[in-house]
Structure 1
């Protein structure tokens, strides 16, 4: 682009456009007398413009053609596909829906076996806070029953001062 010259290479002789129109008109007047015919060479047939519109319309107006529908079963295909998709969705939703389990669904034996299998290291005081004492009896914790006398004998042997426990010896459990 830089190599292209900015100068205009087309030049006209000086004074070319000043007398141009006069020269053209003079040449036309000279030729009229010599070579131009006095009548035009083109002729229009009679009633041409009255008939031309009808001829054009008869040639260009198309006849109605018979319409053949392609694939009329296409709408049935879409309806069947939509029903199939709905059917698959309903079955898929029902298949994946599971009932959520609650704490009430667990059996007491399952809870006990879970606590025994896991070493939770709960102290007796932590267990006592959770377990309601009103519904428990001593036999619930022990495999064999223990008499009150055996309990008192055990306490007398292991505790130095039995009075610290504030137990009435005549009181029954």
Structure 2
């Protein structure tokens, strides 16, 4: 049964770094942010921040279809997307199961100060994953983020990819 690694974390928590590491191990990496960037450019630069969710919706559906197709074909997949709410996590898990995949929720916690330091550096870049995030926007992100509840059985990623992969593949 192919794995669907579904990442949970606020902007800057390390999702893309982990997703790229899994891609180097043979996982198909799917990124909603990169699909939005491909279609619309940079968040807060090429379009106003307040229009992101409207631009994101069709990208989410495209990535959802790609995830299902990859799992149906027997490929392991990592979803590079924040899954900030329990409802989103439940929906993506159901998509993975319907496509014959085994969903694994992976949580990348990070505190505000750590995220601010990472985002200050990242705000200087211009790639698809370099969202320009102000401290005020980060506070808004935290207000909207729902950490996974115990009954969701999310695995907290500790930075040890080899151990995590062995655990997830059991």
Q: TM-score, normalised by structure 1?
A: 0.21
Q: Which has the higher contact order (CA 8 A, sep 6+)?
A: 2
TM-score, normalization: structure 2? 0.22
